[in-house]
Amino acid sequence: AAAMAQVEGLLSVDYEVSGKVQGVFFRKYTQGEAKRLGLVGWVQNTSHGTVRGQIQGPTARVRELQEWLRKTGSPQSRISRADFTNEKEITALEHEEFQILK
């Protein structure tokens, strides 16, 4: 997997998801989906009712999670919008795993 990642390149993206995304296990499902895709980063609730975080990993996998954050989310969530910022290529992952931050 490491060799593949070097060819493809690693991507880091910040995200913020708006809608009914708190109190619906959104963070837990996001963490589960990220782990399934082999991504690292973090997710947390904000004081203004959104969920934000950072995703890092192979570009194609990051794109899959972006799509999931845009369209799917947790079963009870209602996503109104997902914003992605600070997208950049990175040479190494900056996180060990995908964490839920309080």
By DSSP bridging, strand 78-90 and strand 10-20 are: antiparallel
Catalytic residue among 27, 36, 61, 63: 27
**Residue of 45, 63, 70, 86 marked catalytic:** 45
Is 45 an active-site residue?
A: yes
Active site residue 27: yes
**What distance in Å separates the CA atoms of residue 83 and residue 36, rounded to the nearest whole number?**
22
- Taking a C-beta distance cutoff of 8 angstroms, is the pair 66, 17 a contact? no
Residues that are catalytic: 27, 45
